Chain A
């Protein structure tokens, strides 16, 4: 009997937690339709970072192979020695929609992210980092043999 009661409490508290996280996802505005739908790189950055200057930086390391057979799975690792990084955004300038992924680094995050993306053709992989409320950019050209977006 006690065990059943305990399980009931456990289940209800889990349900509350789950709802809490999902509610915050739905209310977490900022999935920028205009930027994600943009069909060229300049339109994407104008929609995503309106009226902001972006400076090239040699403090951003983009870990990606120079040449990739299959563009459907391109591992990308971003690291930087810039301080107070709260946003890392990845683009491929020749993709049908160049904006690929944005990562928001909140409390206590290290300036690092690693993921896998699709790239349609030889492109610049462009990373824009927001650090101390300024935007920094680096790029690396990669060759892709097989379109990963089709």
Chain B
């Protein structure tokens, strides 16, 4: 199955910009389904963690109010092309996924 995570990196002036999109419904638990007329149960990502060469550099605590298919961008210094980046998410249903890639 294709990864739920798309991640891009770009280095400029020793600063790496990370952009990620995660495919996830981010259901608030307040939404009424058009099909069933019933409340859709809450289902959202609570945590995201990012590692650079095995060191945690960035993490998120999210609520139900982060948009569907969450977008995240941040920047960090002192990295180079070929360094390893790992990103993982963890949601309210105990599902999770990790993606590992190299800085381009």
Hey, which bits of chain A sit against chain B, CB under 8 A?
14, 17-18, 20-22, 24-26, 28, 30-32, 36, 72-75, 92, 95-97, 99-110, 112-119, 148-150
Contact of A112 among B46, B64, B75, B79 (CB under 8 A): B75
Question: Is the pair B73, A101 in contact by a Cβ cutoff of 8 Å?
Answer: no
Minimal beta-carbon separation of A84 from chain B (angstroms) = 14
CA distance A37 to B61 in the complex (A): 13
Minimal beta-carbon separation of B57 from chain A (angstroms) = 5
Question: Is the pair A28, B49 in contact by a Cβ cutoff of 8 Å?
Answer: yes
Hey, which bits of chain B sit against chain A, CB under 8 A?
15, 28, 30-32, 46-47, 49, 51-52, 54-68, 70-79, 86, 88, 90, 96, 98, 100
CA distance A26 to B96 in the complex (A): 10
B-side interface mostly? strand
CA distance A74 to B65 in the complex (A): 10
A-side interface mostly? mixed
CA distance A32 to B15 in the complex (A): 31
Name 13 A/B residue pairs within 8 A (Cβ), A-sorted. A17-B86, A21-B98, A24-B56, A25-B49, A25-B96, A73-B68, A100-B62, A101-B66, A110-B75, A113-B72, A115-B70, A118-B67, A149-B28
CA distance A5 to B13 in the complex (A): 41
CA distance A108 to B80 in the complex (A): 13
Chain B residues in 8 Å Cβ range of A18: 98, 100
Minimal beta-carbon separation of A10 from chain B (angstroms) = 12
Question: Is the pair B65, A118 in contact by a Cβ cutoff of 8 Å?
Answer: yes
Question: Is the pair A22, B76 in contact by a Cβ cutoff of 8 Å?
Answer: no
Question: Is the pair A28, B47 in contact by a Cβ cutoff of 8 Å?
Answer: yes
Question: Is the pair B59, A117 in contact by a Cβ cutoff of 8 Å?
Answer: no
